């Protein structure tokens, strides 16, 4: 299944973000360059209009950096970002502002992402003021009420005068979603939107987000480390390891038939709350911590932790993502053997 | 922020502030200062002190370098206090010398151990006037003080001071009593006329003086013929007995009333302190935020400029500046701001660096917010409490710096400040002459003003510090 070009809303090509650590003058003069942190090291993917695309990986895999790159909160080292067929990698102030009106972000911590001194009303009015949405206070208030109804905060008037700390985590994340919706964006970047919310309300929030997505025809870039919500929530997923995508495809396909050993390990790690299995802490087939992105292993970057690693994995060049059919991509040279 | 919201926060702040005793003391003193400044004429014993502080003739009736009046409470020998008399008793008498005369009589009850410094007679006259002035003592002796003859008056003031105008006349009085030997042994220039007038008469009245307490009558005789035709008049006749002690805080060597000077200097202390601290703190806080927010080269350059200002010694440069420009209070305030804005920069910069990393700043950026909106809407309000505390804490510094400049003689001569009073004291050698009332009160008031704002600052720091006060 190939992707129709007209259908693509966001396309990323060979995007890299390398952080250069601060160097002292002596280090520069002696030529002792410290190692560059390769947070995102050449990723490419495309998101279709109206789809929910999941970006999955453990801490340090570079998924949040990717989200920030898409939001243009940081500038990429190389590579391009195309939005709606337009290259937005390097834009001036005006274009960036216009881009941000179309692409919005929901942050992980719903409390930290709102100024504690702002009332909910002020939080929601801020994007309207920033983008100089015509209308006075009254019209803005109507829009705020509409956005709050959209995220099912009822009655909206009751919430508008409150401060963020007076709301529960779930309510805050609804407000955060309402803040992004108020500008009628085309796409939302959701960086682990439910990871800090109680399990009991998690499903509710995801339901709400999905409803909103369906109602307004939005596109989501959903960043998470949680495979179980990803399966429920996303249409397609990409699994990231140490700054690269190792497997990508339809959510059900990837989770039911993982090809890359890293994906397999992640899926095995999901606890199953079944009788008799609750007390069993799963032994991960992979061991150790994710290596430092400043010191990426040569060859296949997963070989240090891979249970199937052979000498060739570290000796030969880095494997590229290969299409295994049906829109399923993976980056293990031995996927057929394992 | 709506009005209701603001009053709510203010109420919340007040609830916390009430628990800080030092803050309440500071607020109390500050309120008192404001009342004194607003109702200044009520507190000043002399009218128009502000325009006449350096006008010598304005203060000429005051005693010179007199201690405060309340020092009498602690002294064994009581010193005469200042008293003023208006509306004399007017009688018509026959005088053996001048014939029919009109006599104006002032009554002065002397009950002290140390005689007054001076007796001053003031009046306004028109035309030609002749006055014969004498004093009648309780022991029946009469001392002739002198005569005033002035022609061509047109409502002009007439002034007769015993200390200067009656020296020789009083010396004549001594001759009636003291022995020739005693007179030749004494130095006539050392004899104070008032000492003689208020002492018991006798052989050795020059060497051993005993106060003569009782009722004294100052009599001014004007021949009736002068006043007859109405062209020559005398009006507004007043008598002033200048005490050895004066006022609440005494006088200086230029006869100025120090209490008046301190009250008139209060508003300048407040003004200099507040203007300097408010402006310099606002500048410093904005500078720190901009440093932190923009970072990179901007931060490096701005930090460099900051370091340059921080390492410049303020006082020497201010001295040079004051020498170049004509010292004016505006130049002094301006140059103090140039040196004081660096105060909060480093702290604000580090605080702003922290705030900058908050997720809601990133969220605002993701919403498309510009940098100035982030700085003014999201960062500055968080630093406002710190700024308020910092303002209060830098007021004393500004007051002391202005005082130091004034002490060096570089103050604005058109205003009265406590530093200038100290400067004058130093020039006149007040410390060497024991004129403590000239040095201690202005110094104490400078310290008190500093303490007031330091108290306020500490209290606000405790309440408003964003670190201690979690959201």
- Enumerate the domain spans of chain A: 5-24+34-330
pLDDT of residue A219: 93
3-state secondary structure of A53: strand
- Count the neighbouring beta carbons within 10 Å of the beta carbon of residue A7: 12
Q: Can B3-44+257-464 and B78-242 be said to share one CATH topology? A: no
pLDDT over 50 (residue B363): yes
Would you state the structure tokens that stand for residue B106, as one six-digit string?
């002032």
Angstrom distance (rounded) from CA A237 to CA A223? 10
pLDDT over 60 (residue B386): yes
B contacts of A73 (beta carbons < 8 Å): 362, 365-366
Segment A321-332 shows an average pLDDT of 86
pLDDT of residue A273: 63
A contacts of B471 (beta carbons < 8 Å): 116-117, 165
pLDDT over 70 (residue A275): no
Using CA coordinates, name the residue in chain A closest to B373.
Answer: A130
A30–chain B nearest CA distance, Å: 23
**Percentage of chain B exceeding pLDDT 90:** 13
A109: nearest CB among B359, B364, B378: B359
Q: Model confidence at A103, in pLDDT bands (50, 70, 90)?
A: very high
Segment A120-140 shows an average pLDDT of 86
Domain A5-24+34-330: give its CATH code: 3.40.50.300
Q: Model confidence at B98, in pLDDT bands (50, 70, 90)?
A: confident
A130 with B367: Cβ contact below 8 A = yes
Pairing verdict, β B118-136 and B142-161: antiparallel
pLDDT over 50 (residue B147): yes
Q: Is the dihedral of CA A243, A244, A250, A253 positive or negative?
A: negative
Full strand arrangement of the beta sheet holding A236-241? A103-106, A187-191, A219-224, A52-56, A236-241, A244-250, A329-330, A322-323
Angstrom distance (rounded) from CA B145 to CA B165? 8
Q: Among A15, A178, A177, A182, which residue's Cα sits nearest to residue A83? A: A15
In the CATH scheme, what architecture does the domain B78-242 have?
Sandwich (2.60)
Using CA coordinates, name the residue in chain B closest to A166.
Answer: B471
3-state secondary structure of A174: helix
- CA torsion A251-A252-A256-A261 (nearest 10°) is -10
Give Cα separations from B206 to A206, B184, B186 (angstroms): 110, 11, 7
Angstrom distance (rounded) from CA B335 to CA B333? 6
B contacts of A126 (beta carbons < 8 Å): 364, 367, 369, 377
Cis-peptide into A21, omega within 30 deg: no
Segment A327-332 shows an average pLDDT of 87
**Total residue length of chain B:** 471
End-to-end CA distance of chain A: 25
Q: Is the dihedral of CA B244, B235, B140, B146 positive or negative?
A: positive
3-state secondary structure of B14: helix
Residue with tokens 């990323």: A12
What is the distance of C-alpha B345 from the center of its chain?
35
A contacts of B363 (beta carbons < 8 Å): 105, 107, 113-114, 176
Cβ–Cβ < 8 Å for A61, A241: yes
**Total residue length of chain A:** 338
DSSP class of B444 = H
Q: Model confidence at B290, in pLDDT bands (50, 70, 90)?
A: very high
B368: nearest CB among A97, A114, A117: A97
Segment A79-92 shows an average pLDDT of 88
DSSP class of B75 = -
Using CA coordinates, name the residue in chain B closest to A98.
Answer: B368
Segment B63-76 shows an average pLDDT of 86
pLDDT of residue A272: 67
Would you state the structure tokens that stand for residue B406, as one six-digit string?
């004034």
pLDDT of residue A52: 93
B359 with A101: Cβ contact below 8 A = no
B1–chain A nearest CA distance, Å: 9
Pairing verdict, β A236-241 and A52-56: parallel
Cβ–Cβ < 8 Å for A169, A196: yes
Bridge-partner residues for A56, per DSSP?
A224, A239
Angstrom distance (rounded) from CA B372 to CA B355? 15
Angstrom distance (rounded) from CA B211 to CA B200? 6
Angstrom distance (rounded) from CA A158 to CA A234? 33
**Percentage of chain A exceeding pLDDT 90:** 18
At B427-471, the pLDDT tens digits run 888 888 888 999 899 889 988 888 888 888 888 777 765 444 443
pLDDT over 80 (residue A282): no
Using CA coordinates, name the residue in chain B closest to A22.
Answer: B296
Q: Model confidence at A274, in pLDDT bands (50, 70, 90)?
A: low
B contacts of A165 (beta carbons < 8 Å): 471
Angstrom distance (rounded) from CA B212 to CA B115? 9
3-state secondary structure of B122: strand
A146–chain B nearest CA distance, Å: 19
Using CA coordinates, name the residue in chain A closest to B471.
Answer: A116
Residue with tokens 């992980």: A108
Mean pLDDT of chain A: 85
pLDDT of residue B152: 80
**Complex ipTM tops 0.85:** no
At B260-281, the pLDDT tens digits run 999 988 998 889 888 999 999 9
Give one DSSP letter per residue of B127-196, joined into a string: EEEEEEEEEE-TTS-EEEEEEEEEEEEEEEEEEEEHHHHSHHHHHHHHHTTS-HHHHHHS-GGG--HHHH
Residue B63 has phi, psi (to 5 degrees) of -70, 155
Q: Is A295 exposed, middle or buried (0-12, 13-18, 19+ CB in 10 A)?
A: exposed
3-state helix, strand, coil in chain B (%, to 5): 55, 20, 25
User: Of all helices (H) and strands (E), which one includes residue B94?
Assistant: strand B89-95
A contacts of B382 (beta carbons < 8 Å): 117
Q: Among A300, A289, A294, A225, which residue's Cα sits nearest to residue A58? A: A225
B367 with A73: Cβ contact below 8 A = no
At A158-202, the pLDDT tens digits run 888 888 888 888 899 899 999 988 988 999 999 988 888 888 888
**Percentage of chain A exceeding pLDDT 70:** 92
Angstrom distance (rounded) from CA A294 to CA B150? 104
pLDDT over 60 (residue A88): yes
Cβ–Cβ < 8 Å for B45, B256: no
Domain B3-44+257-464: give its CATH code: 1.10.3720.10
Q: CA triplet B398, B463, B447: central angle to 5 degrees?
A: 30
pLDDT over 60 (residue B354): yes
Write down the number of H helices and E strands in chain B.
19, 7
B contacts of A107 (beta carbons < 8 Å): 359, 362-363
**Which of B295, B360, B369 to probe by mutation at the A interface, max A CB count within 10 Å?**
B360
Angstrom distance (rounded) from CA B331 to CA B405? 12
DSSP class of A284 = P
Name the pTM for this structure: 0.74
């Amino acid at each position: 299944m190939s992707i129709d070009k007209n259908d693509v809303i966001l396309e990323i090509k060979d995007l890299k973000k390398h952080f250069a650590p601060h160097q002292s003058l002596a280090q520069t003069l002696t030529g002792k360059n410290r190692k560059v942190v390769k947070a995102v090291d050449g990723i490419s993917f495309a998101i279709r209009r109206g789809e929910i695309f999941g970006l999955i990986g453990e801490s340090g895999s570079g998924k949040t950096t990717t989200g920030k790159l898409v939001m243009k909160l940081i500038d990429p080292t190389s590579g391009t970002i195309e939005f709606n067929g337009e290259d937005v990698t390097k834009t001036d102030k005006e274009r960036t502002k216009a881009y941000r009106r179309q692409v919005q972000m929901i942050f992980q911590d719903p409390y930290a992402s709102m100024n504690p001194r702002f009332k909910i009303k002020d939080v929601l009015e801020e994007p309207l003021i920033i983008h100089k949405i015509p209308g006075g206070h009254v019209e803005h208030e109507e829009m705020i009420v509409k956005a709050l109804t959209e995220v099912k905060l009822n009655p909206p008037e009751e919430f508008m005068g409150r401060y963020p700390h007076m709301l529960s985590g779930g309510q805050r994340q609804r407000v955060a979603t309402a803040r992004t919706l108020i500008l009628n964006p085309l796409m939302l970047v959701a960086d682990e939107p439910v990871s800090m919310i109680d399990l009991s309300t998690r499903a509710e929030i995801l339901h709400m987000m999905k409803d909103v997505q369906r109602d307004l025809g939005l596109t989501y870039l959903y960043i998470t480390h949680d495979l179980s919500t990803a399966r429920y929530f996303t249409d397609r997923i990409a699994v990231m390891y140490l700054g690269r995508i190792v497997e990508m495809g339809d959510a059900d396909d990837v989770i039911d038939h993982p090809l890359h050993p890293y994906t397999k390990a992640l899926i095995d790690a999901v606890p199953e709350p079944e009788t008799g299995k609750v007390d069993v802490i799963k032994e991960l087939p992979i061991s150790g911590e994710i290596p430092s992105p400043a010191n990426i292993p040569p060859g296949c970057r997963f070989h240090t932790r891979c249970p199937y690693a052979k000498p060739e994995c570290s000796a030969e060049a880095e494997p590229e993502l290969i299409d295994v059919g049906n829109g399923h991509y993976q980056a293990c040279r031995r996927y057929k053997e394992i | 922020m709506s009005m209701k919201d603001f009053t709510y926060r203010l109420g919340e702040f007040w609830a916390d502030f009430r628990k800080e005793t030092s803050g309440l003391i500071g607020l109390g003193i500050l309120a008192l200062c404001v009342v004194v400044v607003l109702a200044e004429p009520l507190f000043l014993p002399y009218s128009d002190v502000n325009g006449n502080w350096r006008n010598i003739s304005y203060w000429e009736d005051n005693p010179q370098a007199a201690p405060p009046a309340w020092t009498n409470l602690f002294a064994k020998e009581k010193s005469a206090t200042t008293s003023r008399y208006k509306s004399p008793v007017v009688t018509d008498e026959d005088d053996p010398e001048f014939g029919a005369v009109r006599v104006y009589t002032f009554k002065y009850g002397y009950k002290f151990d140390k005689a007054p410094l001076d007796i001053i007679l003031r009046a306004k006259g028109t035309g030609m006037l002749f006055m014969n002035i004498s004093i009648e003592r309780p022991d029946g002796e009469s001392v002739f003080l002198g005569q005033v003859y002035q022609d061509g008056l047109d409502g002009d003031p007439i002034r007769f001071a015993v200390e200067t105008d009656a020296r020789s006349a009083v010396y004549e009085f001594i001759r009636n009593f003291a022995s020739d030997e005693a007179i030749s042994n004494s130095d006539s220039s050392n004899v104070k006329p008032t000492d003689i007038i208020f002492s018991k008469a006798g052989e050795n009245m020059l060497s051993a003086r005993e106060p003569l307490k009782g009722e004294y009558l100052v009599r001014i005789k004007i021949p009736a013929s002068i006043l007859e035709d109405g062209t020559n008049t005398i009006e507004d006749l007043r008598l002033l007995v200048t005490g050895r002690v004066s006022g609440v805080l005494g006088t200086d060597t230029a006869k100025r009333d120090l209490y008046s000077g301190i009250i008139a200097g209060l508003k300048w202390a407040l003004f200099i302190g507040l203007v300097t601290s408010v402006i310099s703190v606002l500048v410093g806080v904005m500078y720190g935020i901009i440093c932190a927010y923009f970072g990179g080269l901007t931060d490096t350059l701005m930090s460099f400029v900051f370091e340059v200002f921080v390492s410049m010694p303020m006082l020497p440069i201010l001295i040079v500046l004051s020498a170049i420009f004509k010292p004016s209070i505006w130049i002094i305030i301006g140059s103090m701001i140039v040196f004081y804005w660096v105060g909060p920069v480093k702290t604000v910069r580090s605080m702003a660096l922290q705030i900058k990393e908050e997720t809601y700043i990133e969220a605002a950026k993701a919403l498309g917010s510009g940098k100035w909106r982030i700085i003014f809407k999201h960062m500055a309000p968080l630093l406002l409490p710190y700024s308020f505390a910092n303002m209060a804490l830098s007021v004393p510094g500004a007051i002391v710096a202005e005082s130091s400049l004034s002490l060096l003689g570089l103050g604005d001569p058109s205003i009265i400040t406590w530093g200038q009073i100290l400067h004058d004291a130093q020039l006149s050698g007040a410390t060497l002459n024991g004129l403590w009332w000239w040095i201690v009160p202005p110094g104490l008031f400078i310290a008190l003003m500093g303490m007031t704002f330091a108290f306020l600052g500490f209290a606000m720091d405790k309440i408003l510090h964003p670190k201690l006060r979690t959201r």
